[in-house]
Amino acid sequence: MKTSERLNKICSLIDNGLNSENAVKALALIGFEGLDKEELAQFKLWNEYMPQSKELPYSELDRNLHILWECLDKTPYGMNCEFAIPLRQAIAKKLFKKCGDGFVANENCKFNFGNNIELGDNVSWNSGCYIDAKGGVKMGNHVMLTENVTIFTHTHSEHDHMQRTYKSVEICDYAKVYTAATILPGVTIGKGGVVATGAIVTKDVDEFTLVAGIPAKPLRKRNFDGSELEKMNQYMMGNKEFQK
């Protein structure tokens, strides 16, 4: 079977509603054969054991979409961009609270509550990003996360691990977060803000400001030519592949 044909079949199953029957067919198309509807219905995702699962419950559709996202990265198809990126786009459009056009996600990007993630257009996540969406995560247009970025939206009591505080994270248009940076709960990264590699961000980042360090502190204004954001090249891949 051609890659495009396999992709089209899975996307058609997603469009028709990824109930258990369709999910079993979709998983078989990426190599997970032998599952039946009853076995799939018994799957439990990590987030379904979290206290927040009562406020952000996953439907059968949500669970099946999340399982398909996770399973993709456990197959050779997950490294084939021509297959994996459009499939992740299709899943995100149905699972996330909002997902604009041109979403690009590389391998091994993980999240817990997809139904609490909002993305604008041309958002990109490079490999290994982790999005804790318990408190809500919102990203504007052309937001870029590079490798192994982590976003947290909750904290724990030191006495009682089940006692948690939730605060949303917002990353505004054209902001960029570099490799292995960590964004802590309640932070807003302003339009065009930049977070340097390895930084731990505990406070809001002003517009067009670069922050670095632990904890992150402002270093300077962002460097870019001109004043028209629309001309800034903040696309993940060459020739704006998968994004426009």
Looking up residue 188, the CATH number of its domain turns out to be 2.160.10.10
Would residue 48 count as lying in a domain?
yes
* Residues 23-45 as b or e (16 or more Cβ within 10 Å = b): bbebbebbebeebeeeebeeeeb
* pLDDT tens by residue, 193-207: 999 999 999 999 999
- Rounded to whole angstroms, how far apart are CA atoms 24 and 147? 31
pLDDT given at position 1:
80
User: Is residue 29 located within the same domain as residue 51?
Assistant: yes
Would residue 208 count as lying in a domain?
yes
User: Is residue 197 located within the same domain as residue 102?
Assistant: yes
Enclosing domain of residue 148: 98-223
Active site residue 142: no
Statement: residue 233 has pLDDT above 90: no
* pLDDT tens by residue, 109-145: 999 999 999 999 999 999 999 999 999 999 999 999 9
Angle ∠(15,19,25) on CA atoms, nearest 5: 80
User: Is residue 65 located within the same domain as residue 181?
Assistant: no
Domain count, the chain: 2
Q: Choose, from 66, 142, 156, 159, the residue flagged as catalytic.
A: 156
Would residue 163 count as lying in a domain?
yes
